[in-house]
A and B are shown apart, each in its own frame.
Chain A
Amino acid sequence: QQQVKQSPQSLIVQKGGISIINCAYENTAFDYFPWYQQFPGKGPALLIAIRPDVSEKKEGRFTISFNKSAKQFSLHIMDSQPGDSATYFCAARGLKTGANNLFFGTGTRLTVIP
């Protein structure tokens, strides 16, 4: 059972455009929602994260929008650059005492065309 559903599977954007990746979850007990960026041959790296008591978080060109009632959150990459070409994973953390168990989406492969 996929705890976090992510779309689209792949995305092609022109340089300077806006990239939008969407995620949805069912478990209302999730308390932390990070996005990870992964380049080929590398491990995922934390990009930006949000808690459910906040509707939006912005860091540079990256913004998370969070809709608690709809149980959805999305990543917006403004002014997309070729260097942003990577696979992006959303994730959600389940509440389990002492555990930091992240459930990852299936990933979105972003290609930014120069």
Chain B
Amino acid sequence: EAGVAQSPRYKIIEKRQSVAFWCNPISGHATLYWYQQILGQGPKLLIQFQNNGVVDDSQLPKDRFSAERLKGVDSTLKIQPAKLEDSAVYLCASSRQGSSAGANVLTFGAGSRLTVL
């Protein structure tokens, strides 16, 4: 099966500019996650979608970050305005739904590396 697709792979912007990342999950995976991975740290969950509904966005800085998954398939994560501390790799992951076999298995994309200058 095709993996989780993310774009762009790299992005460099000035602080206060905006940026958007796109993710296309594995076909049939109802659950989609956005994680932030700062250099030298483990991934941190930003938001989790189940189909097109938000399950958990408790760690999403909502004053500058937004995410949507309008049709329950691909998703966009936006940062506006960006800060220096937003420099990180933004990982998208997907998994099967709920209690089904494989629901625990998150498949990650290669990530989008953001550098804010």
Contacts and interface: CB of A to CB of B under 8 A. Distances in A.
Nearest to A91: B42
Interface string B79-117: 000000000000101010010000111111111000000
A75 to B, nearest CB: 14
Given A32-B104, A106-B41, A107-B42, 20 more contacts: A34-B104, A41-B110, A43-B4, A43-B93, A43-B109, A43-B111, A44-B91, A45-B107, A45-B108, A46-B105, A46-B106, A98-B50, A98-B55, A99-B48, A100-B33, A100-B48, A100-B106, A102-B43, A102-B45, A102-B106
> Among A99, A100, A101, which residue has the most Cβ atoms of chain B within 10 A?
A100
B39 to A, nearest CB: 10
Given A44-B43, A106-B41, A96 B56 contact: yes
Across the A-B interface, give the 4 residue pairs with the lowest CB-CB distance, nearest first: A43-B108, A104-B42, A99-B56, A89-B42
Contacts of A43: 4, 91, 93, 108-111
* Interface size class, chain A: 20 to 34
Contact of A101 (B48, B98, B105, B110): B48
A42 interface: yes
Contacts of A106: 40-42
Contact of B43 (A42, A99, A100, A104): A104
Interface string A33-68: 010000001111110010000000000000000000
Interface of A: 4, 6, 32, 34, 41-46, 49, 89, 91, 93, 96, 98-102, 104-107
Chain A at the B interface: SS class: loop
Contacts of A34: 104
Nearest to B41: A106
A31 B28 CA distance: 25
A89 B107 CA distance: 14
B31 interface: yes
Nearest to A6: B42
B55 to A, nearest CB: 5
